[in-house]
Amino acid sequence: MKNPIAKYLMCAYAYYELDKSLISDTEFDMLAKEILDNWDNIEHMHKYLLTKDMLQAGTYLGEYPTMVRMAVGNYMKELNNGINRT
């Protein structure tokens, strides 16, 4: 999860849809701030899904692309199988 938007969407999906936390609430808030602070310099195919209001509130209640849902599923499987991703 190198791109902050990908990480934000994946963490939001895990939290809001799966009731699983990939990062702490504080880390999620810091991630939102990082995206806001660098908004004009970040490129990602799903950037259009986020708004600055969502980021300021530290939430995401929009639609999750299939790519995000699948990535979280794969990530959770790897965690459950003891595979360390860095």
Give the pLDDT of residue 22: 95
Indicate the SS3 state at residue 50: coil
Whether the full predicted model's pTM is greater than 0.75, yes or no, is: yes
* pLDDT tens-digit series, residues 21-75: 999 999 999 999 999 999 999 999 999 999 999 999 999 989 999 999 999 999 9
Q: Residue 86 pLDDT > 80, yes or no? A: no
Q: What is the pLDDT of residue 2?
A: 75
- Say yes or no to pLDDT of 79 above 90: no
Interatomic CA distance for residues 59 and 82, integer angstroms: 29
> Which letter does DSSP use for residue 46 in this model?
T
CA distance 77 to 23: 16
Q: Dihedrals φ, ψ of 20, to 5°? A: -125, 140
